[in-house]
Amino acid sequence: MSITAAETFLFTHARLLDRRRFAFLFGSGDAEPVVRALDAYRNPDGGYGHALEPDGRGADSQPLAALTAVSVLREVGALDAFAPAIADHLAEISDADGAVPFAVPAGEYPHSPWWQASTEGALLPTANLAGALAEVDHPWVARAADYCWPRIEALASSHPYEVRGCLEFLEGAPDRTRARAAADRLGELVRSSRMVRLGSDMGETPQGYTVAELPYPHEYAPTPNSLAASWFSAAEMAESLDALTAERGADGGWRPRWLIWTPVVEHEWSGPVTIEALKTLRAHGREL
């Protein structure tokens, strides 16, 4: 199946933002149209909302929407112009120690069942955001890093989303020796706690996760240079990438494996999921 099939899928299912991203990443598109499409989700406070993160349908700025925005801006090399305002916004909604909540209280907008607003900061969003903004010189980034390091290094239990957030932080951390040591400990925790999908005989899975929802090795290590790549053998990674290829639909795209709680989110998630699948396959040298 060719890359053209994925493009057709995105034109059929995906948001304008993700169609622009595809053109930039896999075609001849420029960064500017991506930035313009992303700007529709930006709020005056420097944050992002408007269902940029599809499971939160509200207009209000949310931490996970900011994370999506930062990821897209990094992808197209346009983060520098927006990073100060985003970091200022995160500083406004964070605790004194720099920790950001998973979701902030907002209006009575629809949201997924697992979208639980809080005023208390948490490791998952903070590590993700601090890692994505690691190269930005801003007081919040430094404060958030100080919050993340001891908590990541002390983790005795976790869940897949938190681990992946910690990996994002460690990938961007300037202290590479410390980051690799922390990543090695996370890898041991992931394997001992069965937080990864290896083969079909999984046995008991972590509480709250079905086998289908567990990350594959390639989701922890989307590139061969990822810190988590050392967690898995070559055979395990090959099997993981085979599974990713097999999950591609006959229409050329990939769909989310988690609960679809309202019909629109299947389409809005299918765009990013398809793009990430293509990026991962390309990074690992697989045919698109």
Within a domain: 221: yes
Q: What is the pLDDT of residues 30-76, one digit of tens each?
A: 999 999 999 999 999 999 999 999 999 999 999 999 999 999 999 99
CATH at 58: 1.50.10.20
116-120, 210-214, 257-261: which range is least confident on average? 210-214
Nearest to 169 by CA among 142, 139, 132, 143: 132
pLDDT at 202: 58
Q: What φ, ψ does residue 111 adopt, rounded to 5°?
A: -160, 165
Within a domain: 211: yes
Number of structural domains the chain divides into: 1
Report the distance separating Cα 144 and Cα 105, nearest Å: 21
HSE-CB for 227 with a 13 A CA cutoff: 24
Within a domain: 288: no
Q: What is the pLDDT of residues 176-205, one digit of tens each?
A: 999 999 999 999 999 999 999 997 655 566
Tokens matching residue 86: 């985003």
Query: What's the one-letter identity of residue 252?
Result: G
pLDDT at 96: 95
Within a domain: 62: yes
Within a domain: 18: yes
Question: What Rg do the C-alpha atoms of the chain give, in angstroms?
Answer: 18
Report the distance separating Cα 184 and Cα 72, nearest Å: 28
HSE-CB for 97 with a 13 A CA cutoff: 14
Domain range for 55 is 3-283
Q: What is the pLDDT of residues 267-283, one digit of tens each?
A: 999 999 999 999 999 99
Report the distance separating Cα 61 and Cα 103, nearest Å: 9
